[in-house]
A and B are shown apart, each in its own frame.
Chain A
Amino acid sequence: MTRQFTLAACLALVPLVLPVSAQDVPAAPSPTPQTPQAAASAATTTAEQPTHTPLTGDAATGRQLTYTCQGCHGVEGYRNIYPHYHVPMIGGQSPEYLVNALHEYKRGTRRHPTMQAQAQSFTDQDIADIAAFLSELSK
């Protein structure tokens, strides 16, 4: 696991430290149990993909929160060091996908040192805001 703590982690953590420490709210993550509706709609999404109370994201706030993301997701050809792969393009993904991804990192069910650290610093509302901004980016 430590082997994955790469340069990318260093890079992203630098900007993380300052702005975020101030707003280190004890996040109240609420992986709410699945609503019957969601469970029905998805034989697909099941228990391990808890549905989060859909918060309305504010793209303008998300814009402010995502400056840090550019350190990895905004550099052309930027790669994760180990394993070695391009950091994914995330602009234009759906808010639902982005919200899930960040919550998975926050819970630790999706693993990446930098992304887990980032996600843990975000409140549920932050995550909704970030997803709103990123999903509205068009090519």
Chain B
Amino acid sequence: MRRGLRTLPALAALCLLVACGGQQHDPEAEASAGSSSAGLPKGSLEGGEAAANLKSAATGQTCIDCHGAGGNAPLDATYPKIGGQYRDYLAHALQAYRDGDREHALMSQQAAGLSDQQIADLAVYFASQQRQLRDLRGAHDR
């Protein structure tokens, strides 16, 4: 009985899942380094590199000042590596900071003044850098 009760929500979630249809992989969006579903303009690598080295008026810091060269050498252990991270996730994170959906003493200020174009550019730039991060595929195999 207890087991039945426990599995109920799981079953409900499964039904919902079936109703929603499968997870989609979107090769088109994968390929384009440009526009995202978040409505951002196409990003530019050169623009991103410039923006990454531009001191923010609000914080006096550049992206590189805190995240390190290529976004891979964070100044503080609480700062993430962002080099090679997914472009669309980076853009999403910056938008979230800008829009107040995610908060950080520095990042909220840093992102507040960014235009959509700058966010798109920065996302392209850091996504293009060397990647030290990985997903969890096979992480439990060894």
User: B31-52 CB contact bits vs A (8 Å, 1 = yes)?
Assistant: 0000011100000000000000
Given contacts A14-B17, A111-B102, contact A86 B78 (CB under 8 A): no
Given contacts A73-B136, A93-B80, A94-B74, contact A83 B13 (CB under 8 A): no
Q: Which range holds the interface residue count of chain B?
A: 35 or more
- Contact indicator A88/B85 (Cβ below 8 Å): yes
- Contact indicator B23/A78 (Cβ below 8 Å): yes
A26-B36 Cα distance, complex, nearest whole Å: 40
- Contact indicator A87/B23 (Cβ below 8 Å): no
User: A87-106 CB contact bits vs B (8 Å, 1 = yes)?
Assistant: 11111111111001000100
- Contact indicator B20/A7 (Cβ below 8 Å): yes
User: A1-32 CB contact bits vs B (8 Å, 1 = yes)?
Assistant: 00000111011011001100100000000000
- Contact indicator B6/A85 (Cβ below 8 Å): no
User: A62-97 CB contact bits vs B (8 Å, 1 = yes)?
Assistant: 010011011001111111101111111111111111
A89-B20 Cα distance, complex, nearest whole Å: 25
Q: Is B10 close to A, CB under 8 A?
A: yes
Residue from the list A11, A49, A76 in contact with B78, Cβ < 8 A: A49
- Contact indicator A10/B76 (Cβ below 8 Å): no
- Contact indicator A96/B10 (Cβ below 8 Å): no
A91-B78 Cα distance, complex, nearest whole Å: 15
Q: Is A40 close to B, CB under 8 A?
A: no
In the complex, what residues of B have CB within 8 A of residue A91's CB? 133-136, 139
Q: Mark B residues whose CB is within 8 Å of A.
A: 6-7, 9-10, 13-14, 16-17, 20-21, 23-26, 29-30, 36-38, 66, 74, 76-81, 84-89, 91-92, 101-106, 131-140
